[in-house]
Chain A
């Protein structure tokens, strides 16, 4: 029973982390897609609370945004944001967190250093590849770009997101050292 409440509080808490990261100003790129720190929240959720809870935390956050809370960076929110060209990136957050967590649960994490390397790899695949793949699909569907054009457009985000992967690894390393009982990506806390 405790793990249910623990899951509930962890899910709410990591959805809140997304809100906190959204309070940091965004940078707008051409085609209406903003660079935000919130993708770091996607990576952290997957690495620190696992695949299932990471997915649920991101879904809860998107639900709160759809209900009208101005939690996306730049104070954006409401159902209207789901019709923008960046919708693919937004809807990819739960999938990205799930994939990051799924990989993190399977990669070695016996020591803080191993955890950090695993977090970097998991977040590069889940938080970067999955999110960008869905983002590109969104650009193709909504903005009617070709796959090549959309893929070229999304490349502008990759350097920033690689930095976020490294940052995620540093955070996971510090958490693994600071909370020795905590296993990043553990299914049951």
Chain B
């Protein structure tokens, strides 16, 4: 079963509404990417990092993306320092780290369905132009179900190949998997039509 990166451990940010958090994230990251002066950029990035740190122990799901961003930041700073432009490296590093910390904080403290509801509301005006925002939850549910289903299929095909040849299937099983997927799509479409057609 595919989980989400949401953390069940309650923090102060869990109490904020998903819409408010998304709005704050949009404003703050736009500011981070437009600020040029070190006097403004350093406190803004530090503020973003402080939000992440204030969530306390976030576990591996919260730590991993920040560690990955840190590695990228170190490499970037080193690269720009070698080119003799350390401030360019430092400012990119601050923006990246600040934005990543805010993004991770939002993901850790907001449920998948809450974010989805905000998006549905945001996309509602687009229905006039043919974007079926009401179908989004169904498509996401199908996607999650199919991911699990086809991962199991991949493993079964791999096992069958291994039994026949004594070797792992690797990319050889990608084509039969695609054929199974395309056939499944027809069956699912028929089932959806039978169930959802008004």
Contact = CB atoms under 8 A, between A and B. Distances in A.
Interface of A: 1-2, 5-6, 8-17, 19-20, 23, 28, 30-32, 40, 44, 48, 60-61, 63-64, 67-71, 75-85, 142-145, 167, 170-171, 174-175, 178-179, 182, 189
30 contacts: A5-B193, A5-B196, A6-B186, A8-B135, A9-B142, A11-B139, A12-B142, A12-B143, A13-B143, A13-B146, A13-B184, A15-B139, A15-B146, A16-B143, A19-B147, A20-B177, A31-B72, A64-B143, A67-B112, A68-B5, A68-B107, A70-B3, A78-B106, A80-B69, A81-B65, A83-B95, A142-B92, A175-B178, A175-B179, A182-B182
- Which label, helix, strand, loop or mixed, suits the secondary structure of the A interface? helix
Interface residues of B, number: 74
Given A31-B76, A167-B174, A143 B186 contact: no
Given A64-B140, A68-B107, A170-B175, A17 B192 contact: no
B72 A32 contact: yes
Contacts of A19: 2, 143-144, 146-147, 151
Contacts of B2: 19, 69-71
Contacts of B154: 20
A48 B182 contact: yes
A19 to B, nearest CB: 4
Contact of A144 (B6, B71, B92): B92
Given A2-B193, A30-B75, A84-B72, A60 B103 contact: no
Interface in B129-187: 135-136, 138-140, 142-147, 149-151, 154, 171, 174-179, 181-186
Interface string B109-128: 01010011001000000000
A171 B176 CA distance: 8
Given A67-B115, A80-B65, 10 more contacts: A30-B75, A48-B178, A60-B143, A68-B110, A69-B144, A81-B103, A85-B72, A142-B92, A144-B91, A145-B79
A70 B96 contact: no
Contacts of A44: 178
A6 B189 CA distance: 5
Contacts of B184: 9, 13
Contacts of B75: 30-32
Contacts of A145: 79
B68 interface: yes
The winner among B25, B100, B143, B185 for most chain A CB atoms within 10 A is B143
Contacts of A32: 68-69, 71-72, 75-76
B147 A71 contact: yes
B138 to A, nearest CB: 7
B81 interface: no
A68 B4 contact: yes
A145 B107 CA distance: 28
Nearest to B192: A5
Contacts of B69: 32, 80, 83-84
A62 to B, nearest CB: 11
B24 interface: no
Given A9-B192, A32-B68, A78-B5, A85 B96 contact: yes
A9 B188 CA distance: 6
A75 B142 CA distance: 19
Contact of B107 (A11, A80, A85, A142): A80
A6 B185 contact: yes
Nearest to B70: A32
Nearest to A145: B79
